[in-house]
Amino acid sequence: MTCCGTGCTSSGSLKDRERLAALIERDNMQDKVRVVKTGCFGLCAEGPIIMIFPENIMYTNVGPDDINEIWESHIMNGHIVERLRSENELDFFSKQMRIALRNCGRIDPENIDEYIAFGGYEALEKVLAEMDPEDVLETIKKSGLRGRGGGGFPAGVKWQFAADQKSREKYVCCNADEGDPGAFMDRSVLEGDPHSVIEAMIIAGYAIGAHQGYVYVRAEYPIAVERLSIALKQAKEYGLLGKDILGLDFDFDLEIRLGAGAFVCGEETALMRSIEGNRGEPRTKPPFPAVKGLFGKPTILNNVETLANVPQIIMNGPEWFSSIGTEKSKGTKVFALGGKINNTGLVEVPMGTTLREILYDIGGGIPNGKKFKAVQTGGPSGGCISADYIDTPIDYDSLLALESMMGSGGMIVMDEDTCMVDIAKFYLEFTVDESCGKCPPCRIGTKRMLEMLTKITEGEGTLEDLDELEDLAHNIKKGALCGLGQTAPNPVLSTLKYFRDEYEAHVVDKR
Ligand code: SF4
């Protein structure tokens, strides 16, 4: 199996694939050896990655020149090529638990038969043949599944709100508009296991009484879009979408809508306006989308990772899912590990795993023996957590208590050389660029904050500026219309809280 996710593709896995295919043909081994393209294995830092079955041997950093050796030594003669094996493999995977990523790196995402062979669409069959919509709603509520895209709202409660609405038209939407810098969890699920999302959306449609769904996905994710399109076509051919699904009395169809890269379109009301063909701008809530959403009809919106959990919950039961994680944060969470960390990549761990375990046991620690300084969780909406809190169990509530947030799962690690004021400025520049401009606290306020931060980083700020910066940040949080503006000050506030001395080192004391 060759990883053909975006990470390994960009480091040359397609060439490895071509080389392997050529050797199979040259040696007439078509009936004995098959090259399968998969989604992401997770250990992106060591790509391109190749996995050899049935021995289960992972080779990393494989260049086209290494393929000949793997072919001659391992495939033709059964001798493992030790020099291409990763020293990190065992540590990287041993503390992980893969639910949302269960099929990533295990199946060919462009082949529905492989998804079915690994239990795919069994949950849908069970739902349609054996369960009432109320049973499905109860199952999701009991599982404790919370939204993996940001706020952590209970998915089953959201579904129940939409199910309770009397309307002939309802919609199921999937938010695949993953825009946080450094985040690639949803992209990887769509690239590696698109059918799990399709299956979950049909189940959600049945539960709330919807017959149409939309996947809103970034156009900047060409591989994900292509694999999702192939998966939709196959699902239609297999009678899993359209009229009378699986020969049973339920109709549901799905379409893809491409987002043009505006970060604000990850906000639910802006996303729905964009699907409707309007400019993607948030609106005030209530009414919430479960009551009045897409085209003014009851709508649920879940992100890719949330949905990828659903078929497993149906098959294994809500008790199984709720037995994983912490009291208020059930199941697992996928994180994209990036920045100053040895094992850059994609990890999935039970909620409650500590930051130390993620960064050191799985992530392999900080490169070049440097000291860990902080980690930004939750992208531009989250905050920086300092090294003092490295033993914090990661779940929704403990991150909020540290004035950060889970967000969608980006984790950018910083070492002792990182200037925290620069980091805050980087995230603020991002939100200033991405503000849709609809409300003044965000449109004008974040710009003023950026001007103040620029003054501070240029050594022209004062201690009074720090107080003003903090005041303005709190006012923007209170006054902004949508989540983008309400959370935009978080990186500044959290760095001011944990690294105020660094800000003070930049300013002149005129008091
Ligand atoms: Fe637009 Fe920002 Fe206001 Fe949200 S908070 S509506 S992104 S201007």
pLDDT tens column, 139-191: 999 999 999 987 899 999 999 999 999 999 999 999 999 988 889 999 999 99
Q: Is the CB of 338 under 6 A from ligand 1?
A: no
pLDDT tens for each residue of 285-313: 999 999 999 999 999 999 999 999 999 99
C-alpha 376/C-alpha 407 separation (Å) is 10
pLDDT confidence of residue 74: 96
Ligand 1 centroid–CA 273 distance in Å is: 14
Q: 445 CA distance to ligand 1 centroid (A)?
A: 11
> pLDDT tens digits for 432-465?
999 999 999 999 999 999 999 999 999 899 999 9
Distance CA 290, CA 292 (A): 6
Q: What is the DSSP string of 19-67?
A: HHHHHHHHTT-TTT----EE---S-GGG-S-EEETTTTEEE-S--HHHH
Pocket test for ligand 1, best of 269, 271, 436 (most atoms within 8 A of CB): 436
Q: Determine which residue's CA is closest to atom 4 belonging to ligand 1.
A: 482
Q: How confident is the model at residue 404 (pLDDT cuts 50, 70, 90)?
A: confident
What are 184-215's pLDDT values in tens digits? 999 999 999 999 999 999 999 999 999 999 99
Q: Is 508's pLDDT higher than 80?
A: no
Distance 369 CA to ligand 1 centre (A): 41
DSSP SS3 for 175: strand
**Rounded Cα gap, residues 186 and 336, in angstroms:** 10
Q: Which residue type is seen at 469? A: L
Euclidean distance between CA atoms 267 and 179, whole angstroms: 10
Please give the pLDDT value at position 64: 87
Q: Which residues contact 262 (CB under 8 A, 6 or more apart)?
A: 179, 270, 274, 280, 434, 436
Mean pLDDT calculated for residue range 390-413: 90
Closest residue to atom 3 of ligand 1, CA basis = 439
The reply to whether ligand 1 has any atom less than 6 angstroms from the CB of 211 is no
- In angstroms, rounded to a whole number, what is the distance separating the alpha carbons of residues 226 and 185? 17
Ligand 1 and 162: CB distance under 6 A: no
Please state the pTM of the whole predicted model: 0.95
3-state DSSP call for residue 173?
Answer: strand
